[in-house]
A and B are shown apart, each in its own frame.
Chain A
């Protein structure tokens, strides 16, 4: 079945540092890929998405490129801020052979950014 593996945290960075959170996936079809962010005490918010190979999703300074050859969707940001402290989830949606838009999530990576 489908699965998502993302780097385990926690990740602690200083403000303005470069961020990479690795994500790789296994899927039977042609999935859409997502990064969701969960701020403390809140629900999940879609951060960015990519629906086909070589697409780059971007939002709020974050970027991720859909790499089919390496089955990866790594999240990057050039300069993190304290306000980026949150849990980040990589996820995929693969409807091959079905009608369920189910998201398969990684386990999440806690990011803490210190001033």
Chain B
């Protein structure tokens, strides 16, 4: 089954404690992306990757890092999380315009 998986699905953490949200896709897509969803703001792109070792900033990259060492994986790293990063995060992958989304990771930073 074609899918995008994310882990963990739910995470509560404290300010400053480094964390990683994993994302994996099994569709051999070159393009992957991270979004955050906030009430009243819709979804906004954090980072994207056109292929292995090729990443670039989206609209709201501050406080986040990504890496793309393998085609299937695109982890999102928060080196020093802060409360304003409390949000619902989605990973997506696509061949072209039609993007497939993961189930989401709900992160709370206290």
Which A residues are closer than 8 A to B by beta carbons? 32, 34, 36, 42-46, 49, 51, 89, 93, 99-103, 105-108
* A/B interface sample: 27 pairs, CB < 8 A: A32-B97, A34-B97, A36-B101, A42-B104, A43-B104, A44-B90, A45-B101, A46-B98, A46-B100, A49-B97, A89-B42, A89-B43, A100-B50, A100-B56, A100-B58, A101-B31, A101-B48, A101-B99, A102-B58, A103-B35, A103-B99, A105-B42, A105-B43, A107-B40, A107-B41, A107-B42, A108-B42
Contact A51-B97, Cβ < 8 Å, known A42-B103, A101-B48, A102-B33: yes
CB distance from B7 to the nearest CB of A (A): 13
B73 at the interface (CB under 8 A from A): no
CB distance from B105 to the nearest CB of A (A): 10
CB distance from B41 to the nearest CB of A (A): 7
Question: How extensive is the interface on chain B, given as a class?
Answer: 20 to 34
Residues from chain B with Cβ under 8 Å of A49 in the complex:
97-98
**In this complex, which of A34, A46, A100 has the most chain B Cβ atoms within 10 angstroms of its Cβ?**
A100
CB distance from A45 to the nearest CB of B (A): 7
Contact A93-B97, Cβ < 8 Å, known A100-B56, A106-B42: yes
B45 at the interface (CB under 8 A from A): yes
Judging by beta carbons under 8 Å apart, are A102 and B48 in contact?
Answer: yes
Which B residues are closer than 8 A to A by beta carbons? 4, 31, 33, 35, 40-45, 48, 50, 56, 58-59, 90, 92, 94, 96-104
